[in-house]
Amino acid sequence: MNHTELLKLLEKDCRATPDQLAAMLGEDTGTVRREISALEKDNVILGYNAMIDWDRTGEELVSALIEVRATPQRGEGFDRIAERVYQFEEVESMYLMSGAYDFAVTITGRTLREVASFVAARLSTIEGVTGTATHFILKKYKEKGVTFESQPVQEERMKYL
């Protein structure tokens, strides 16, 4: 069985049943179930997530992408600093980057002040963190291959701008 194709199908729609996946892959259901189980056991499949367009829920949330500069630690590189950062509940994703900064961190809070407080009081005070730059996300257009559709009210407003 080609587990790469199975993973791509699951990544696109994690709600697909083993029967549906088996039909798409031309495999029997038992084989698909065993493969999924093995991939979960090997930590290839780490979890299953729903992608939510929070703007459509009326929930007021603020998302930010934070650039973090850090000094690598002797014998551990950036890993120790990364572990301190990604342990925070607010952190949704974190990446080691090449270029002008070392980490890209995304977080979500209830208000701009909450996000700013997290950066000032918790993130920037970690030993080894030498600087941060916070970019507030104003609108999401596409994430993980999924396009966020415009809301009709927003489209109407745009006609008059």
Query: Would 85 be classed as within a structural domain?
Result: yes
The stretch 147-155 carries a mean pLDDT of 65
CATH number (domain holding residue 21): 1.10.10
* Domain coverage including residue 34: 3-41
Residue 86: predicted pLDDT: 96
Which tens digit of pLDDT belongs to each residue from 23-74? Answer: 999 999 999 999 999 999 999 998 988 887 777 788 889 999 999 999 998 8
Q: Above 70 in pLDDT, residue 155? A: no
Same domain, 134 and 84: yes
Domain co-membership, 31 together with 105: no
* Residues paired with 70 in a beta bridge: 129
Looking at residue 62, its pLDDT comes to 92
**101 within some domain:** yes
Three state DSSP letters for the chain: CCHHHHHHHHHHCCCCCHHHHHHHHCCCHHHHHHHHHHHHHCCCCCCCCCCCCHHHCCCCCEEEEEEEEECCECCCECHHHHHHHHCCCCEEEEEECCCCCCEEEEEEECCHHHHHHHHHHHHCCCCCEEEEEEEEECCCCEECCEECCCCHHHHHHHHCC
Looking at the predicted structure, is the pLDDT value of residue 156 above 70? Answer: no
Whether residue 58 is found in the same domain as residue 36? no
- Please indicate, yes or no, whether residues 61 and 35 belong to a single structural domain of this protein: no
What CATH code is carried by the domain that includes residue 101? 3.30.70.920
How many domains does the structure of the chain reveal? 2
- The answer on 35 and 69 residing in a single domain is no
Q: Quick one: pLDDT at residue 140? A: 87
58 and 135 inside one domain: yes
pLDDT for 153 equals 52
pLDDT digits (tens, 9 = 90+) for 87-143: 999 999 999 999 999 999 999 999 999 999 999 999 999 999 999 999 999 988 888
